[in-house]
Chains A and B, each alone.
Chain A
């Protein structure tokens, strides 16, 4: 949960801000954010996606780093786009067969 909060904070301070984006990249934030995209919690992945957008906004170096074979964040981002289908399937699987009316 703390990691998600930090990712959100990182997104806030780096959004379209070249200086902060570069500083974050130098401190290894890109790899850490990319690793958060592998977390099981959708909430954390969502916040990592926020950070990715902020870090990549108008920053070619960060864009290339994120798209590199080392980080490859485009793959987990694409998986995140299919969340709705997964969520709907889980809802169908665990919906009670009948409801007891009060």
Chain B
């Protein structure tokens, strides 16, 4: 698990603060891997996965629809139901994810 966590964190560090780079990092991770990360018990993997979802879906209808078709909502709702067990940063990003999926944009 530690190896996967570190790989995810390193990939996300490569994304930096620039949207296009973050999106590139998220695309490298891939949607199936993102879903697996959401379902894991690792706080770090959940955090990176949620940020990757935002990077993919922010102002991008194509990815919003693609993630919806890949059934992203189920693991997200599963996480939300466990909100008391989530770390603060994961909970905050989770709320942002729902915001982006509902409105189509981060802003």
Chain A residues within 8 Å of B, Cβ to Cβ: 42, 45-46, 49-50, 52-53, 56-60, 63-64, 66-67, 73-75, 77-78, 80-84
- What total of A-B pairs shows CB separation below 8 Å? 76
The answer, yes or no, to whether B89 is at the interface (CB within 8 Å) is no
Q: By DSSP majority rule, is chain A's interface helix, strand, loop, or mixed?
A: helix
Interface size on B, as a range, is: 20 to 34
CA distance A67 to B16 in the complex (A): 11
Please determine whether B11 and A77 come into contact, CB atoms closer than 8 angstroms. Answer: yes
CA distance A56 to B25 in the complex (A): 13
Please determine whether B7 and A77 come into contact, CB atoms closer than 8 angstroms. Answer: yes
Please determine whether A56 and B10 come into contact, CB atoms closer than 8 angstroms. Answer: yes
Q: By DSSP majority rule, is chain B's interface helix, strand, loop, or mixed?
A: helix
| Pick from B1, B6, B25: contact of A50, CB under 8 Å | B6
CA distance A42 to B18 in the complex (A): 30
Given known pairs A67-B21, A80-B3, the reply for A53 and B9 (CB within 8 Å) is yes
